[in-house]
Chains A and B, each alone.
Chain A
Amino acid sequence: MNWAWILIAIVFWLSTWGINQRLAVLNIKNPNLQRGVDILIPMLFGAALLMLWEGVCRGFSVPTVLLPPPSMIWARITSSVDILWADFQQTYLKAVVAGFIMGCGSGFVAAIIVDRVPFLRKGLLPVGNLVAALPIVGIAPIMVMWFGFDWPSKAAVVVVMTFFPMLVNTVAGLAASGQIERDLMHTYASNYWQTLFKLRLPAAMPFIFNALKINSTLALIGAIVAEFFGTPIVGMGFRISTEVGRMNVDMVWAEIFVAALAGSLSYGALALLERAITFWHPSYRSK
């Protein structure tokens, strides 16, 4: 038991909490400064969490097999960059990206077809809604059996996982444009495709980006879980399952860190892209 560490962690926690309390009620007129403060507050909170983690691990001498302190995880990350990079390449750059593009693309095309045919919309949409709620990761063993151990089987899981959220959201988005706007397009004598590209797709963009954001997390989960069922000796899921077996928990946390970073970055990139494309949307227009 090392009380100094616990004390430091608690003091750090309380002081950041106090600072946040002050910052949160500040009324800042300058929008840039306000944005900086809005980023600073969660940063401080995160730092306090890390400090608390470190303090608890060191203070109570928690066995590193159970929960390694953040400093140890960081040491492992910096010392095994090459392994992490190889795993990242195998899982993310090959399986996730390929599956994500194919799944979202086919979901999008299917949504446009479904939207065109009312019969399909009535029939396929309830089924799609149901499937979107199903535990689709369960098909992972089947895909591994069909497409082999390498990344195509993981990409296949990702395709199936990302297809239905994209389908359901895009169909909902295509119905989002108002009747008045559609009537206006009608008075312009625009045909189906012109209405689609100039009115309905732009109006559907917030929904499509919503699906893309959901899918960016789903895709990573799908690829990693599919690797639990069989994989070549590289990949994030493979590394996690084998290093857990060898009780190298710091390596597992290093992989989780990479996964979290990849997940957050792709989510952030999509959010930025959304802001650029749907600049007209009320929630992004500058006030």
Chain B
Amino acid sequence: MTEREGIAAFIHDRFIPIGTVVLAIILLWYAFTVVLNAPFERDQAARAGTEISTPELISNTMSQKRPVLPAPHQVGVEIWKTTVEKKITSKRSLIYHGWVTLSSTMLGFALGTGLGILLAVGIVHSRVLDKSLMPWIITSQTIPILAIAPMVIVVLNAIGISGLLPKAIISMYLSFFPVAVGMVKGLRSPEVMHLDLMHTYNASRSQVFWKLRWPASVPFLFTSMKVAVAISLVGAIVGELPTGASAGLGARLLTGSYYGQTIQIWSALISAAVLAAILVMIIDLIGRSVTRRMGVVS
């Protein structure tokens, strides 16, 4: 294969293949819309005692009020209606719900990243912590933490802590793990030669940390932060499920499933996906510019 450069490479290696796959997914989605929604339409026609023609059937499956699977454009229209046409303060605005979820995601992500870094620093510098804590950190992730989510929320509610913090705690619990593991790896990544060099400079432990270990761990930090931010969004969404479904994307999912509002479920789902993608991209961009300014070859 010949090497392409610049825009040609972008078009041939990114745009065309990804575009094709996305297009195929959308086409498949439309096909499934017709297949899954058709029984309802046939049923309706049979009850009314009328025959329904195929083109009519297909167009009807795209515009049901509570379809089994809404068509992509229905979801698109719903998202447009609930983001652009509604006021941001309205309870029906997806931006409002998205903001609720985003704020607890960010708080949990910040707390989790902080905790993860602290644990990693402790583990790298103390042999006891390394040996006694590390196995438990790994075990803590084999526990399905999300299962405790409803309990944490309800219990914290019972003692008067409600709102942002309980959800943020769940996000924190989920997101500290990738950061802790990644940072332990990162803080240990300096080679023996570099450590020895610092030793010949008569550097203290804190100097070794700030001048060698910390800079060396930055690329690891951003890689694990990308995982952590996506996972904290999941935590925030699941944390919203048992709060009586008042606000947030998770609440939209739950009310949608209670009332059979499939279009609402899908629009909440798509906006959660877009939110996750944007968050990961932002972290990626920050990470890239930081590592470039630090002169780390990526």
By a beta-carbon cutoff of 8 Å, the part of chain A in contact with chain B is 17, 20-21, 23-25, 38, 41-42, 44-46, 49, 65-67, 119-120, 122-124, 126-127, 130, 133-135, 137-139, 141-142, 144-146, 216-217, 220-221, 224-225, 228-230, 236-237, 240-241, 244-245, 249, 252, 255-256, 259-260, 263-264, 266-267
Partner of A135, one of B19, B132, B154, B233: B233
Chain B residue nearest to A266 (CB atoms) is B142
Smallest CB gap from B250: residue in A = A138
Report the 7 A-B pairs with minimum CB-CB distance, sorted nearest first.
A123-B17, A141-B257, A45-B132, A263-B142, A122-B17, A123-B21, A133-B230
Question: CB within 8 Å of A: which of B4-56?
Answer: 13-14, 16-22, 25, 36
Quick check: A135 and B18 within 8 Å, CB to CB?
Answer: no
Residues of the B chain whose Cβ atoms lie less than 8 Å from the Cβ of A221: 144-147
The complex places the Cα of A135 from the Cα of B248 at a distance, in Å, of: 14
- Interface residues of chain B, those whose CB is within 8 Å of chain A, are 13-14, 16-22, 25, 36, 68, 127-128, 130-136, 139, 141-148, 150-151, 154-155, 158-159, 226-227, 230, 233-234, 237-238, 241-242, 249-250, 253-254, 256-257, 260, 262, 265-266, 268-269, 272-273, 276-277, 280
- For B128, give its contact among A21, A122, A135 (CB under 8 Å): A21
* Subset of 26 A-B contacts with CB under 8 Å: A17-B128, A20-B132, A24-B130, A42-B133, A42-B135, A66-B158, A67-B155, A122-B13, A130-B277, A133-B226, A133-B230, A134-B273, A135-B230, A137-B146, A141-B253, A141-B254, A142-B262, A142-B265, A144-B257, A145-B262, A146-B68, A228-B150, A228-B241, A249-B155, A256-B147, A260-B144
Which residue in chain B gives the minimum CB-CB distance to A138? Answer: B269
A42-B132, A42-B135 given; name 12 further pairs at CB < 8 Å.
A17-B128, A21-B128, A23-B131, A134-B273, A135-B272, A135-B276, A142-B265, A236-B147, A244-B150, A260-B142, A260-B144, A263-B143
Report the nearest A residue to B140, measured CB to CB: A260
- Residues of B with C-beta under 8 A to A44: 132
Residues of chain A lying within 8 A (CB to CB) of residue B262: 142, 145
Distance from A153 Cβ to chain B, minimum over Cβ atoms (Å):
12
Complex alpha-carbon distance, A221 and B256, angstroms: 21
Cα–Cα, bound, A9→B50 (Å) = 77
Q: Is the interface of A mostly helix, strand, loop or mixed?
A: helix
**Most chain A CB atoms below 10 A, which of B19, B150, B242:** B150
Closest to B130 in A: A24
What A residues does B19 contact at CB under 8 A? 123
Residues of B within 8 A of A230 (CB): 257
Chain A residues in 8 Å Cβ range of B25: 127
* Distance, CA A60 to CA B133, complexed state (A): 26
Q: Is the CB of A244 within 8 A of B151?
A: yes
Given A24-B127, A122-B17, A133-B277, check contact A138 B144 (CB 8 Å): no
A124-B21 in contact given A65-B158, A134-B230 (Cβ < 8 Å): yes
A252 near B151 (CB under 8 angstroms)?
yes
Between B68, B132, B269, the greatest number of chain A beta carbons within 10 A of the residue's beta carbon is seen for: B132
Q: Are A264 and B14 within 8 A (Cβ)? A: no
Q: Which residues of B contact A146 (CB under 8 A)?
A: 36, 68
**With A122-B17, A145-B260 known to touch, is A138 a contact of B147 (CB < 8 Å)?**
no
- What is the CA–CA distance of A123 and B14 in the complex, to the nearest angstrom? 7
Complex Cα distance, B143 from A260, in Å, reads 4
Closest Cβ of chain B: how far from A240's Cβ, in Å? 6
Q: List residues of chain A with CB within 8 A of the CB of B143.
A: 256, 259-260, 263-264
Separation of A38 and B133 alpha carbons in the complex (Å) = 11
Q: A41-B131, A141-B257 are in contact. Are A135 and B148 (CB under 8 A)?
A: no
